[in-house]
Structure 1
Amino acid sequence: MAYDMSPHYSIDAALVERARGLQEGLKANYKRGDEDRRLPEANFESLKQADLLRVLVPRRLGGHGAKMTTQLAVAAAVAKGCPATAWVQSLINITTWAMTALPDAGQQEVFLGEERPFVCGVLTPGGAARPTDGGYLVTGKWPYASGSYHANWGTGGVMILDDQGMATGVGTACMRMSDLTIQDTWKVVGMRGTGSNTLVAEDVFIPHGRLLQVAAPNKKLDSEEAADHWPVGAALSVVLVGPLLGMAEAVLELVVASAEKKGFAYTTFPRLVDSHVAMRDIGQSASEIHAAKLLAFDAAATIDAGGPGVEVSVFERNRLRAACGHACALLRTAVDRLVSVSGASSFAEASLVQRYWKDLNVASRHAFLGTEQSFEQFGRSLVGSSDIFVVV
């Protein structure tokens, strides 16, 4: 019963169909991932076999070079099977994509080696990079690195220091996971299977080519692939909405499917379809989910329209992030209403509805999706305020 966005946006249907083909297998492994607080190996292997972990990697580095609209549709389809798997798929895609901006030597090492890269990590500066012969020594801690148990590369935001220990800039260090320690800190009520743990580095050496400096010249300015020119912050916000769309659509489908047979307890309505209020609530929720999808896919299409020589302004980046924050608010409201329509039985441990509900409520609180913060940023842009706090 999902809405088909393909008539309106450019989507690689073959990749989306691969994602849909994984749904039943992923559903069967949900409980194991929830209990183990990490993706089952079978889930990650299915993503690899379907080749859905390099959707956003440019073709020049061996990826699909797909559009952001395709990634949203892929993630939404995966999320209907397992929200945590969709989240890891999205985060590894976007973090691996981010590392395609490394200096040429780093790109060669990470992307053109014998092993296909699966990158997890965090942009927030949680450590420091000190200069040493041939590169840097990196020390730090970075929480919420989704997919940490399955990645082979990890990234962390760092303050770049000089020989005297003074900060000279900000960057992202790309490190082999074999050089990092994973602290088991992801103990939450939703999205438990994402393995979003803390990465720890203790004097990890990286060569110059594996430090991406925020203010450094873009090494891909001559590339014709649009993804090589996406604004990082806006791309990070947009990509995270994909799994949420799938979760919300899954709840809507479950509630609609039960409407002919599920009744309201302690009322004379034998079925949900006999209640005008229930039908209104389902219709309103469906409209809100569709509105959120339109916001998200429009933001993705805006990013896809970029390319060589196209500069995305601070104003436009803030608009895109506000659209994503707005989409999250709509999805939360819609799903909360649908859960109320479905009733207390939705919270049974065996209920799929409560699984999607709790996962959506946790995932939609990601900092890049903060509704109120993104509205404030956009509002400041609209009035021309100089106090605009864009991080990336």
Structure 2
Amino acid sequence: MGVYEHEVLDRVEKLLPVLRERAQETEDLKRIPDQTITDLRATGVLQLMQPTQWGGYAAEPVLVYDAIRRISRACGSTGWITSVFGIHPWHLALFDQQAQQEVWGADREALICSSYAPMGAGLQVDGGFRVSGAWRYSSGCDHADWALLGGPVLADGAPVLVDGMPQFGSFLIPKADFTVDPVWDTFGLAGTGSNTVVVQDVFVPEHRFLSFYAMNDGTMPGVAVNTEPVYRMPWGTILPTGLSTPVLGMAEGARDIYVEYQRERWRAAFVGEQAKNDPYVTERVGRVSSDIDASWRQLAGHIVEEYQTILAGQEVSIDTRLDARRDQVRATQRCVAAIDVFMESAGAAALSKGTPLQRLFRDAHAARVHATNEAEKVYDMYGQYKFGRDPMLIMV
């Protein structure tokens, strides 16, 4: 499952040494450098999930995750942002054609940030919504031309209900209608610039709202025009996998750094011997590498399986979606634990500010905090379903 041939991946590989060199600058800036955004655009990675009608690849989805993990080996923050900007074109492709025209008709390289948690709402009015709120943790918002902001639809001060549940979805809002509050100052993923997006009583027309219910039942208007199979992939696989894959790439990067460092390191406990000859060092590399590689095989395997199901003209079952969601959070857990093993045995030199291993350690733990990577709720949801109960199937 590890090697895919594509011109974008070739260009990504050539960029990795540059991203590795810029990793500390990225952290210090608290945002992705402008030149890195230019370089990512040049590789084509941000267009992998963009529809062909707008100049994108509409590619097999496993390709974008492979690119994300490679970039995350070099810089965790850049990998995270690649995921954000690389997957949002898939979401926009599900919107009404008029919304796509407003974004990509004006700029086919437009970047879209998001914050899906309901930190604001849209008041239903004639022709659309009046949207207000302050959406925190919107990664890459400083660079974004548009924002996808989650929230309920309100009418007369109360939530609008669909089948007894509040109507909830994403409002698509241009940069001219939001401001950025620069509050991001963290110990991990510091370079993602995940600041707060503020919207104050902005009108959003109906065609720039997409309900999560429509995405769940397959009635998204965009698929009538964007008929490529990738746009039939489940939302609950596409987005969560995009938030685990950077952690996996960080674990692969940490392994490479650990092996290289231990290759040259001398330990006082082994007089006249190098750390690479310490059986506890070699055991860690072997044991932890199995978890990292298994995580990628599971993530990529589920993506490929679901995509092949769609190519065969079939629906992806709830069981298959739950399997993918279960292994998505498991991959995050495994890879954070793997980095912990490397960090705790790397020696005091790895603690120095500016060293890549401690930065990947911090970035991975910051990524683990994201709600989509919260494993316990997903395991419980999976278990309840297997016992015949009817859990709230969140993000599947």
Do the structures match in fold with TM over 0.5? yes
Deviations along 1:179-236, one digit per CA (max 9) or x if unpaired, are: 1011222221011000111111101112221111223432245454122111112211
Is 1:68–1:303's contact at 8 Å kept on the other side of the alignment? Answer: no
1:84 maps onto 2:88 in alignment: no
Measure the CA separation in 1 of the matches of 2:175 and 2:289: 42
CA positional deviation for 1:105: 1.7
1:152 maps onto 2:145 in alignment: yes
Aligned to 1:49: 42
1:186 maps onto 2:184 in alignment: yes
Is 1:22–1:81's contact at 8 Å kept on the other side of the alignment? Answer: no
Deviations along 1:261-315, one digit per CA (max 9) or x if unpaired, are: 2123444362122211211111111111111111111122133224375333333
Given residue 361 of structure 2, which amino acid in structure 1 is its aligned partner? W
Identify which of 222, 233, 237 aligns with 1:234.
237
Is 1:87–1:243's contact at 8 Å kept on the other side of the alignment? Answer: yes
1:166 maps onto 2:158 in alignment: yes
Q: Evaluate the alpha carbon distance shift between residue 128 and residue 388 of structure 1 in structure 2; reply closer, same or farther with a 3 A threshold.
A: closer
Aligned to 1:105: 98
Measure the CA separation in 2 of the matches of 1:269 and 1:319: 49
Given residue 230 of structure 1, which amino acid in structure 2 is its aligned partner? M
Measure the CA separation in 2 of the matches of 1:391 and 1:278: 39
Identify which of 289, 298, 302 aligns with 2:301.
298
Deviations along 1:357-384, one digit per CA (max 9) or x if unpaired, are: 1111211332112222221121112112
CA positional deviation for 1:15: 1.3
Q: Evaluate the alpha carbon distance shift between residue 389 and residue 224 of structure 1 in structure 2; reply closer, same or farther with a 3 A threshold.
A: closer
User: Aligned residues: percent identity?
Assistant: 25
Unpaired runs of at least 5, structure 2: 161-166
Aligned to 1:74: 67
Measure the CA separation in 2 of the matches of 1:250 and 1:391: 28
Q: Which has the higher helix share?
A: 2
After TM superposition, the structure 1 = structure 2 runs for residues 197-236 of structure 1, keeping only pairs within 5 Å, are: 197-216=195-214, 217-222=219-224, 223-236=226-239
After TM superposition, the structure 1 = structure 2 runs for residues 1-392 of structure 1, keeping only pairs within 5 Å, are: 5-6=2-3, 11-114=4-107, 116-162=109-155, 164-168=156-160, 169-216=167-214, 217-222=219-224, 223-268=226-271, 270-307=273-310, 310-391=314-395
Give TM-score, length-normalised by structure 2: 0.91
Is 1:79–1:243's contact at 8 Å kept on the other side of the alignment? Answer: yes
Deviations along 1:295-344, one digit per CA (max 9) or x if unpaired, are: 11112213322437533333332221110111111111211112223222
Given residue 310 of structure 1, which amino acid in structure 2 is its aligned partner? Q
Unpaired runs of at least 5, structure 1: none
Deviations along 1:15-40, one digit per CA (max 9) or x if unpaired, are: 11111111122122222221221111
Higher alpha-carbon deviation: 92-101 or 217-226: 217-226
CA positional deviation for 1:63: 1.3
Query: Secondary structure at the residue paired with 1:328?
Result: helix
Q: Evaluate the alpha carbon distance shift between residue 115 and residue 29 of structure 1 in structure 2; reply closer, same or farther with a 3 A threshold.
A: same
Is 1:228–1:307's contact at 8 Å kept on the other side of the alignment? Answer: no
Given residue 44 of structure 1, which amino acid in structure 2 is its aligned partner? I
Given residue 5 of structure 1, which amino acid in structure 2 is its aligned partner? G
Measure the CA separation in 2 of the matches of 1:303 and 1:86: 24
Is 1:238–1:299's contact at 8 Å kept on the other side of the alignment? Answer: no
Counting matched residue pairs gives 384
Is 2:95–2:222's contact at 8 Å kept on the other side of the alignment? Answer: no
Given residue 258 of structure 1, which amino acid in structure 2 is its aligned partner? Y
Is 1:126–1:141's contact at 8 Å kept on the other side of the alignment? Answer: yes
CA positional deviation for 1:111: 2.3
Give TM-score, length-normalised by structure 1: 0.92
Query: Secondary structure at the residue paired with 1:29?
Result: helix
